[in-house]
A and B are shown apart, each in its own frame.
Chain A
Amino acid sequence: MTAFLTFHWGWLTGALLLGLAMGWIAVVQHGEGLSKKTAQIVALLLAIVVGVAVTRVVPGRPGYWLDLGLVMFAAYLIGCAIGSALRDRFVARQMAAGRIPVRSDPPGPAAPGPAA
């Protein structure tokens, strides 16, 4: 795995940065996001795909692309998590300083976002 990560570090960094950006945005983004049911379906599908990758049933190049996709996805998720966490802290600090009003949680559809 180390060799794999070393070889693809550029693309993985890209995915991580993409995740950071998406995570940064997601904290203050309007809307509900995915519904709980969709999220569950997505999680199930993801589990199946991970299972397929781990059991190495897909041979040759498609197997490699699957691994690559999953690792990039993992990097993206880590990026998202870090991005969101950072943005959350940043927002909390600004709210504490009183520069933006405290909004109700969850935010209403018409409530203005801090980034808007």
Chain B
Amino acid sequence: MRGLFRWSRKWWPGLIPLAVLWCLAAWYDTVPMEQNLAAATVAALKSDVLDKTRITVAGRDITFSADAFSEEGRRSALTSVEGVPGVRLVNDNTRLVPEAKPYVWTAQRDVVRVTLSGSTPLPAIKARLQDAAKAALNGVEVVDQTGFARGAPARFDAAVLLLIEQVARLKEGKVTLSDKSVSLSGIARELGGREAIWASLRNLPEGYSVAANDIAAPPYVFQANKDPVGGTLTLSGYVPDNKVHAALVEAAERKFFGEKVTDTLKASIGAPKGFAEAVTRALGALSRLSTGSLTVADREVTLSGDALFDGAANQIRQSLAKELPEGWKAKAEISVKPAAAPVDASVCQRLFSEVLGQGRIRFESGSATINVDSAGLLDRLAEIALRCPAAGIEIIGHTDGDGDAAANQALSEARAKAVADYLVKAGLPADRFKTSGQGSSVPVADNDTEEGKAKNRRIDFLVR
């Protein structure tokens, strides 16, 4: 031992190369060792649930910053870092995720996207809610701006998952969960959506309640579009039930004699009161237009298009609002189709025959009152009459073979006169028309069948 002390006094010269070796070791090993420790620390924290984790290594010391979701989680993470082999000191900069009071979660839907904001308790729940939103809002962009906060009410995720389903039913609006109270506002995407939302909210977890539900139903829309080029009348939107559906299609076929009816109507609840009556009247007004469209949204009727002549335009504007049921509003944007070129008497005759070949002027049964469904046809006849202003027109009434001959004669004359009156009212000079009745004496078809009788009940136009 004495020798060791003696020799040790001579060991100092080796300290110089040792110092060089030390410098080299420090130079080459510092950064790799820090990287090694950082990787080991990240691996050690793999099972810990943390937010905003930041690990800074200086030498063997680790500065550990993170937001933990509970005190136990924070302590466990700290222990994990302290247990990493090779770590000398841990500077603890961890903290708990802030607590939210009240605990608010919001989903805002507009036309193109859904924005989630507010708080969620854990990363796993945040991810699950985001996935659920993407799945429920198929194709709509989901922007997740939620942050983390402690203090979520029990069964928060179940409640929010249910609310996400309701967001999918909205066209636009906002759904807010504040602690355990739910508020909704906006417009449902489809008819019946509002009711479906109400029904779903009954399944909220226990303790949750609906503070406000201001979801409005979407407007109840019915549309009709008359396209003279394609010769079609397209019906789209909603009808209350199959009965009204059939009645409206039938009315359209009666009123639009020259157009093929394309029907894409869907049955849905939520129709305003007087829907069928209002739409039937509005279709009558549309039938008088050369081209036009009709939109019925809730209780507002908008009719736009071109009338065949000035008189018709005025009549449509005035009568539309009057004919609608109480509480309905009408908006008529009617212009007048440019007048067609004048033609001579023979062309007029051909045009009359063509139009009367497509449709028939209808009267109330056994009377000379013109059925409202014939307004469109009469406007077409008036328009033709306007194109040959010099020609005189004889309007001849005919009836079928049923009933007394004298009565049929009187009825045929009265019906011819009613048609002439209509045309005069439309703005044509009365002296151009001469009316007569032939009763049932000039049948064009067999009076033994209903079909034949219908053909025989007719008005002929004769241009002179």
10 more A-B residue pairs beyond the given contacts A26-B8, A27-B7, A61-B59, with a C-beta to C-beta distance below 8 A: A11-B29, A14-B21, A15-B22, A18-B17, A23-B7, A33-B6, A64-B88, A72-B21, A73-B18, A84-B3
A64, B30: Cβ atoms closer than 8 Å: yes
How many chain A residues touch the partner (CB < 8 A)? 44
Partner of B14 from A33, A56, A80 at Cβ < 8 Å = A80
B59, A8: Cβ atoms closer than 8 Å: no
Among B9, B24, B85: residue with most chain A CB under 10 A: B9
A60, B21: Cβ atoms closer than 8 Å: no
A60, B61: Cβ atoms closer than 8 Å: yes
Given the known interface contacts A18-B17, A32-B9, A33-B12, the answer about A69 and B22 at a Cβ–Cβ threshold of 8 Å is: yes
Task: Give chain A residues whose Cβ lies under 8 Å from the Cβ of B88.
Answer: 56, 63-64, 67
Q: Which of B223-261 contact A (CB under 8 A)?
A: none
Task: Give chain B residues whose Cβ lies under 8 Å from the Cβ of A23.
Answer: 7, 11
CB closest chain-B residue, reference A105: B6
Give Cα A69–Cα B20 distance, bound, in whole angstroms: 11
Which range holds the interface residue count of chain B? 20 to 34
Question: How close is B14's CB to chain A, nearest CB, in angstroms?
Answer: 3
B25 at interface, CB cutoff 8 A: yes
B58 at interface, CB cutoff 8 A: yes
B43 at interface, CB cutoff 8 A: no
A34 at interface, CB cutoff 8 A: yes
How many residue pairs between the two chains, A and B, have CB atoms under 8 Å in the bound complex? 117
Task: Give chain A residues whose Cβ lies under 8 Å from the Cβ of B26.
Answer: 64-65, 68-69
Mark contacts of A65-106 with chain B using CB atoms, 8 A cut-off: 1 yes-contact digit, 0 otherwise.
101110011001100110011001000000000000000001
Among A34, A56, A67, A68: residue with most chain B CB under 10 A: A68
A108 at interface, CB cutoff 8 A: no
A62 at interface, CB cutoff 8 A: yes
B29, A59: Cβ atoms closer than 8 Å: no
Provide a sorted-by-A list of 18 A–B residue pairs whose CB atoms are within 8 angstroms: A3-B86, A4-B86, A11-B21, A23-B7, A26-B8, A31-B10, A33-B8, A33-B12, A63-B60, A63-B89, A64-B88, A65-B30, A65-B59, A67-B60, A68-B22, A69-B22, A80-B7, A81-B8
Which residues does B use to contact A, with CB under 8 Å?
3-4, 6-15, 17-18, 21-22, 24-26, 29-30, 33, 36, 58-61, 85-86, 88-89
Task: Give chain B residues whose Cβ lies under 8 Å from the Cβ of A64.
Answer: 26, 30, 33, 58-61, 88
A11, B60: Cβ atoms closer than 8 Å: no
Given the known interface contacts A11-B25, A84-B3, the answer about A72 and B11 at a Cβ–Cβ threshold of 8 Å is: no
Give Cα A88–Cα B8 distance, bound, in whole angstroms: 13
A39, B9: Cβ atoms closer than 8 Å: yes
A63, B4: Cβ atoms closer than 8 Å: no
Task: Give chain A residues whose Cβ lies under 8 Å from the Cβ of B17.
Answer: 18
Question: How close is B19's CB to chain A, nearest CB, in angstroms?
Answer: 8
Given the known interface contacts A14-B21, A23-B7, A68-B22, the answer about A60 and B85 at a Cβ–Cβ threshold of 8 Å is: no
Give Cα A61–Cα B58 distance, bound, in whole angstroms: 5
Task: Give chain B residues whose Cβ lies under 8 Å from the Cβ of A42.
Answer: 12
B21, A15: Cβ atoms closer than 8 Å: yes
Task: Give chain A residues whose Cβ lies under 8 Å from the Cβ of B3.
Answer: 27, 84, 88
Partner of A3 from B25, B30, B85 at Cβ < 8 Å = B85
Give Cα A11–Cα B29 distance, bound, in whole angstroms: 10
A80, B11: Cβ atoms closer than 8 Å: yes
Question: How close is A19's CB to chain B, nearest CB, in angstroms?
Answer: 7
Task: Give chain A residues whose Cβ lies under 8 Å from the Cβ of B7.
Answer: 23, 26-27, 80, 84, 88
A7, B86: Cβ atoms closer than 8 Å: yes
Which 6 A-B pairs rank lowest in CB-CB distance, beginning with the nearest? Answer: A64-B59, A33-B9, A22-B14, A60-B58, A3-B85, A3-B86
A26, B11: Cβ atoms closer than 8 Å: yes
Give Cα A60–Cα B59 distance, bound, in whole angstroms: 5
Task: Give chain A residues whose Cβ lies under 8 Å from the Cβ of B25.
Answer: 8, 11, 68, 72
Question: How close is A105's CB to chain B, nearest CB, in angstroms?
Answer: 9
Question: How close is A52's CB to chain B, nearest CB, in angstroms?
Answer: 13
Task: Give chain A residues whose Cβ lies under 8 Å from the Cβ of B11.
Answer: 19, 22-23, 26, 33, 77, 80, 84
Task: Give chain B residues whose Cβ lies under 8 Å from the Cβ of A80.
Answer: 7-8, 11, 14
Task: Give chain A residues whose Cβ lies under 8 Å from the Cβ of B4.
Answer: 81, 84-85
B59, A63: Cβ atoms closer than 8 Å: yes
A34, B59: Cβ atoms closer than 8 Å: no
A7, B18: Cβ atoms closer than 8 Å: no
Give Cα A61–Cα B12 distance, bound, in whole angstroms: 26
B14, A76: Cβ atoms closer than 8 Å: yes
CB closest chain-B residue, reference A76: B18
Question: How close is A45's CB to chain B, nearest CB, in angstroms?
Answer: 12
Task: Give chain A residues whose Cβ lies under 8 Å from the Cβ of B89.
Answer: 56, 59, 63
Question: How close is B101's CB to chain A, nearest CB, in angstroms?
Answer: 38
Task: Give chain A residues whose Cβ lies under 8 Å from the Cβ of B58.
Answer: 59-61, 64
Task: Give chain A residues whose Cβ lies under 8 Å from the Cβ of B10.
Answer: 25-26, 29, 31, 33-34
CB closest chain-A residue, reference B30: A61
B14, A19: Cβ atoms closer than 8 Å: yes
Give Cα A83–Cα B304 distance, bound, in whole angstroms: 111
CB closest chain-B residue, reference A61: B59
CB closest chain-A residue, reference B32: A7
CB closest chain-A residue, reference B86: A3
Q: Which of A14-61 contact B (CB under 8 A)?
A: 14-15, 18-19, 21-23, 25-27, 29, 31-34, 39, 42, 56, 59-61
CB closest chain-B residue, reference A21: B14
